[in-house]
Every structure is written in structure tokens, then in C-alpha cells.
Amino acid sequence: MNKETKKRLDVLYRKHHQWLFSVAFKASKDMIISEELVQELYLYLLERNDEALYFKDSYNLQYCRAFIISRFYNLKKVDNRWLPLFSDWDSEDIPYDEEWDNKLEKSYKEVLDELSQMKKKKGWSSAMLFELYWFSDKTFDELSKEIGISKSTAFLNVKKIKTLLKEKLDNPFNKEKNEE
């Protein structure tokens, strides 16, 4: 660790630790997770040792804020993958709903058809990126590293396709529309 990094980390801790903790707590609503996120930021900055992240006598606080929030959401996405599948052993069996399954299958086919139509149009690499994200358990970070694009580009492309799909396709599971 060089002196400059040590000095900047010291300033970051002394002047901005409380603010960084509040940013983490606002996202996670948990004291322990918030502390872990802030500690992970310090370790990351120490390992990275990058002058591009410097700002005045410390580090760029907006970068630190974005780092904490994105780490929390990636942590949540990974955690949600490992939830127990059968947590309701004692619950009452619900009868099989064939109509619901048919709606689900029809909706799934509509999405796939719409994606294939989008991929045929010129400049629709977004649809391919969306497909890669949707059919995998990868986070935006993992996907962007695999493809070689920035995480924000991956996120914006997936968001763009989600918005277009919402506009073009009807949601058969939306209770408000079904009651009309």
C-alpha cells in the first residue's frame, strides 16, 4: 500500500465514514450488511489503488456511493438465487390451475416471439443481450465482463427491452386489467 492511498483512505474514513454508512443503510436497512458494504468499499479502494478515483484529499464520493449501492443489489440478486425452494411444507395444497399455466406458457411464447422479431431488426443487439441476461443467473457485472461491455451499458440495454416488451405485450397476470 502506498502512502497516498493510505492517506486518502484515512481521510475517507475520518470524514465520510458516517455518510458512507448512511448510504449503505438506506439501501440495505440492516446495520450489519451496511457495515460490511462499507468495509468492502475500503478493501476495494485499497486493492484498486487508482488515481482516477481521487477527488481533492480523499476519494470521489459519488463513485463510493454507486459502488455501495451496486454491491448491495448484486448481493441481493445472488442471495435470492439460493432461497429454499420448499419453505412451506405445512401449507395447504393448492389445486393445479391449468388456465394459469396456459396463460404463463402463452406469455412466455409471446416474449420469445417478440425477442426473435427484435433480433431480426438491424441494430437490435439489445434483444440478444436481454436474452443472455434473462436466461442466465448472471448479474449485470458478470454478464458485462463476459461480453466485454460496461455494466451500465448492459443495464440500460436490458431496461430498454423490458420497457419495449411491457409496451407491446399484455400482461395476463395483471389483476387490474383482468377485472375490467
Count other Cβ atoms within 10 Å, centred on residue 70: 17
Query: What's the pLDDT score for residue 57?
Result: 59
The single-letter DSSP state of residue 55 is E
Question: Per residue in 106-131, pLDDT tens?
Answer: 888 888 888 888 888 776 678 888 88
For residues 129, 135, 136, 139, the Cα torsion angle rounded to the nearest 10 degrees is: 50
Query: What's the pLDDT score for residue 162?
Result: 85
Query: What's the pLDDT score for residue 84?
Result: 60
Domain residue extents for the chain: 3-81, 98-179
Query: What's the pLDDT score for residue 142?
Result: 86
- Stated pTM of the model: 0.42
